[in-house]
Amino acid sequence: MNNGFHIYEMEESIRLDKYLATLFPELSRTRIKNSIKSGNVLVNNSSAKPSYLLCVNDEIKFEFIVENEQQVHMESVEMELNILYEDNDIICINKPPGLVVHPGAGNHTNTLANGLIHHFDSLSNVNGITRPGIVHRLDKNTSGVILIAKSNLAHHHLANQFQDRTIQKIYQAVTWGEWKESEGILDGNIARKKSDPTTYTISKEGRSSETKYIVTHKNRYFSQLTFMPKTGRTHQIRVHSAEENHPIVCDDPYGGGINRAKGFLPEVALKMKKIIKNMGRHALHAEQIMFQHPTGKNQINIIAPYPTDFVNLVDSVRDFDG
């Protein structure tokens, strides 16, 4: 058995077999299911069913991956990385929009993980060969700061901070509509949609979530907000915004796409559609992360500048003022 790795908060409630299939796309789903059923995959040192739903901090151990790791090839891909901070233990990168963090279904190469192994000789292997150094994730179209561990020791320290919710994250977003309150707290249980398992919704069957928000600019058509999530559920900010009927601009799966421009005056709708076309991805940026250094124990505060598309969006939205 391998040394095992732990499940992050954003990975909970995913079926064990689907999770491993995403982690190791080179292995067939049938092989993974058979390995689970034969006891070659352990959850918290016990056998589990393929349908087992993962929980935060579950420890996963597996034998079939170790036997076939040489078959799982991680291609080194040269790419430009915007490094915000680096020392002997950690790396902080400003991830551009459109870049997938690690290989998975439909994305086997040209991910951030492929770029990391090209640039760095030493990265943690806590989460397996296809997730070198990856401590947490950002959605493909979310830009901003992401934290990378160079060693397993650093990885475990950082993962524990995520689990204990002592890491502070700040996001910037542009949403549709004018928020009534200038600040507040959004909560509710988040679960996968039964009709579309790639998206999430507020549901009694889900996991608790909490996001603080502050409106920094608004007009009758759009608002810019600072979001500070306390929990780290998948798509949390996107779900909370949509639930308030203020979906993030260009976030089509949650009602923030071009159809949102319907019903406005033709000249206004035309400007809105131009904004959406120019942005091309949901308007969410992971601006800041604050955490305790895994070995130095000092507080680290990393800020990721806005990418060009987000800067242009903010400027365009303010053209609607007045």
Give CA–CA dist 268/189, Å, rounded.
36
Q: Strands (DSSP E) along 67-209, which ranges? A: 83-86, 90-95, 143-149, 168-176, 183-187, 190-192, 200-202
Q: For 56, which DSSP code? A: T
Q: Which residues does the annotation mark as catalytic? A: 139
Q: Write out the DSSP string of 63-93.
A: SHHHHHGGGS----------EEEE-SSEEEE
